Every structure is written in C-alpha cells, then in structure tokens.
Copies of this chain bind each other. A is one copy, B any other.
Amino acid sequence: MRLEFVDTPALLVDLDVFEQNIKACFAALEGKNVAIRPHLKTGKSSIIAHRLLEAGAVGICVAKLGEAEVMAAAGIEDILITTELIGAPKLERLVKLLRDHPSIKLVVDNLEAAMALNAKLEGAGLQVDILLDVNVGQNRCGVMPENALELALEVSKLEHLKLIGVQGYEGHLQHDRSFENRRNSCLAAMEKLGKVAFELENSGFEMRIVTTGGTGTYPFCSEHPRVTEVQPGSFVFMDSDYLATPGVPFQSALTVLSTVISVSESRAIVDAGFKSLSTDSGFATPKNLAGWTYSPAGDEHGLLEKTDPEAVDLKIGDLLELIPSHIDTTVNLHDWYQPQRKGMLEPVWKIETRGKIQ
C-alpha cells in the first residue's frame, strides 16, 4: 500500500525518523543515572507507550485520569498522572482504577485536595503513592517551594497517601529560542526543585522520584544530581515550534497528509483546516514544497498560497504533507496514525486516549 491510497487528512508517521528520535532521546542520557518517563499526552497511543517502554523508559506520564485508564487497560502499570485530580467524579473513577492498578502515582499541591483524596481512599481501603507538585517557575499548578515542607508534613499525616517524591515542571522554558537562556533558567528551576527534595529528605521523607523536564529541557534537568527522571514527550514526533528551538536534536517524524481539493491561479485548497491542524502555536508548514505557505481557511479547509512564482504548480488530487506547529494539540484532533516506512504503509495505530474525559 502506497501513500496515494491514504484517505486524508491523516496523521502520517515516518517510522524511521520516529525510531531514530527515540534512540537519540535515550542516547542523550547514556551513562547518567537519570531515567526517562515519557509523557504520553503527546502520543496518546498505547502502541507508542509500549515502544518507549521497550526502548528503556522506566514508566510513563499522562496528563489525565482518562489517559491513565486507557494506558492501564493496555497493560502499563507504572503511570504518573501529572495533573491534580479534583472533584467527586474523578475520585470515584480513581478508586476503581487503583484497585487493579496500584502502581499509579498522583501529584498533590494542596492540603484540602489531599484530604479529600485521602478520605476517598480510606473508604475504599486503598493507599496511593504521591508526589508533591512544586511550582518551579511556571506559575501554573504546584505548591510554592517555601511551602513545600509544611505541606509534606501535613500530607504525611494522611494514612492513605504515601509521599515518595516531588514533581516540578518548567513548562514555560521548553521553547525558549535562546539555548543559553533555556539552559540557565532550567538549571535555576532545578535548583528550586533540588532544594525542596533536599529539605524533604532531611525531614525524613524518602525522595524516590524527583521528576521534571520536557523535550526542550530534559538534558539540562539531568545535570542536577537530585533529579531521578525526566518527562519528555514531543521528541517522538517533533513539530515546527520545537524544530525552531535551538539544540533540540530531533527530526520531524509526523505530518498531516492532505489532498488538494480545489485550485485557482495562485492558490490551492487542501482538506486540512482547523479541525486537522491546531493553530495555538502558529500555522503548519508545507514539507518539501518550496514557494508555498499554508494557512487555515476554515474548519476543514486549508489555503496554500504561492509566494514564489517559480514554485511548482499544484493540481487537484495532489497529496501534500504539512508539519504541525504543535504536535500535542494536532494529534488530539485525529483518531489514528498512519505509519509508513519509505513510502510503504503499515497498519494504523489508534489514538486511544483522544477525547477521553479529563
């Protein structure tokens, strides 16, 4: 089966590059005592999760309970849910999941939420491993470093939560276009996280896991002696935002394949718009098509404009590959991947965690 038999729009995976990216990610930490726990909010597929585990990942991260439910059902046990779980419906589902999958780990950044979680687990006769989520500068979730010890001491009184480490995600640094600034800011964030880990250990807490990092920062994170594992996710596929970030040593392994459905003098319309390519990090980039730019032209339409009169013409039925600007939100728009190797198609991979509730 060759490309012209792919129904579009489709997420096309270049398997050679995908495998090379995985190798390069692990190679970058060779000889270091830092594990890789890839974030599956990017890939959203248990097939990808299993490939990463086979390559040496210590476990996986997911962003949502719904993703954990899917990954656990696919046979993956060591799962860290990197977002706080709040509210009765979530705790109800969590208890069901933990019964069969006790290795799932959670994060906590607030005593009240920890108490609600503890009460629910008490009723179910369960215990769960937790990490303190620490704000290392992203100013999103996470307890402030100066309040972490106090929270740890309070949480440690809750019998159904077992504190085994800390998480601190420097998400705001991932795409910093200055390599030096990214590295320095990341090391400063790691100092904050390391200091919390040190304080907690000094107070008798076992710091089994100190987890952090993303595709743009994980090598810097791994320089800090307290960090035990890193959480990159986008490296498997990359996107134009990461490709423009200096010193991120991975190649583009995923494109949206689209078909030209209408043409006129200096433009062509493809069947990939807002519902196939996310725009939160800019517009997609045509691959191997000099002299044309892409912009969305509606939910299901994309506009290709000729910027160079010397560029090749496009005709109805032509297949075009578009490099997404943000891989996570683009994958989330699709139901499956179409893997290919040297132009020959392989069976599709379902994106099982797409659209699963938080």
Bound together, the chains give a CA A84 to CA B262 distance in angstroms of 8
In the complex, which of the residues A7, A9, A301 has the most CB atoms of chain B within 10 Å of its own CB atom?
A7
Bound together, the chains give a CA A12 to CA B274 distance in angstroms of 22
**Which of B141, B259, B274, B301 is the one whose CB lies under 8 Å from A262?**
B141
What is the distance, in angstroms, from A351's C-beta to the closest C-beta of chain B? Answer: 9
Bound together, the chains give a CA A297 to CA B139 distance in angstroms of 10
Q: Are A262 and B88 in contact (CB under 8 A)?
A: no
Chain B residue contacts of A262, Cβ below 8 A:
84, 109-110, 140-142
Binding-face segment, A19-27, A243-251, A326-334: A326-334
Q: Are A86 and B301 in contact (CB under 8 A)?
A: no
In the assembled complex, A137 has its CB within 8 A of some CB on chain B: no
**Which of B9, B142, B171 is the one whose CB lies under 8 Å from A358?**
B9
Chain B residue contacts of A225, Cβ below 8 A:
none
In the assembled complex, A164 has its CB within 8 A of some CB on chain B: no
Bound together, the chains give a CA A303 to CA B112 distance in angstroms of 20
Chain A interface SS verdict (over half): loop
Nearest-CB residue, chain B, relative to A144: B264
Q: Are A274 and B280 in contact (CB under 8 A)?
A: yes
Bound together, the chains give a CA A142 to CA B297 distance in angstroms of 13
Q: Are A271 and B89 in contact (CB under 8 A)?
A: no
As for how many copies of this chain the complex holds, the number is 2
Within 8 A of B (CB), among A52-84: 63-64, 83-84
In the assembled complex, A223 has its CB within 8 A of some CB on chain B: no
Q: Are B317 and A296 in contact (CB under 8 A)?
A: no
**Which of B113, B267, B275 is the one whose CB lies under 8 Å from A329?**
B275
In the assembled complex, A306 has its CB within 8 A of some CB on chain B: no
Within 8 A of B (CB), among A224-281: 259-264, 267, 269, 271, 274-276, 278-280
Q: Are A299 and B259 in contact (CB under 8 A)?
A: no
Nearest-CB residue, chain B, relative to A335: B355
In the assembled complex, A316 has its CB within 8 A of some CB on chain B: yes
Bound together, the chains give a CA A332 to CA B299 distance in angstroms of 10
Q: Mark A292-307, 1 if CB is under 8 A from B, else 0.
A: 0000111111010000
Q: Mark A116-154, 1 if CB is under 8 A from B, else 0.
A: 100000000000000000010001111010000000000
In the assembled complex, A183 has its CB within 8 A of some CB on chain B: no
**Which of B5, B9, B63 is the one whose CB lies under 8 Å from A300?**
B63
- Please list 28 pairs of residues, one from A and one from B, whose beta carbons are closer than 8 Å in the complex, sorted by A's number: A4-B88, A5-B88, A7-B358, A8-B89, A9-B357, A9-B358, A10-B357, A41-B299, A41-B300, A63-B299, A86-B316, A110-B316, A113-B316, A116-B317, A135-B264, A139-B264, A140-B269, A140-B298, A141-B301, A142-B262, A144-B264, A274-B326, A274-B329, A275-B332, A300-B358, A332-B333, A333-B333, A334-B355
Residues of A bordering B, CB below 8 Å: 4-10, 41, 63-64, 83-90, 93, 109-110, 112-113, 116, 135, 139-142, 144, 171, 259-264, 267, 269, 271, 274-276, 278-280, 296-301, 303, 316-317, 326, 328-329, 332-335, 354-358
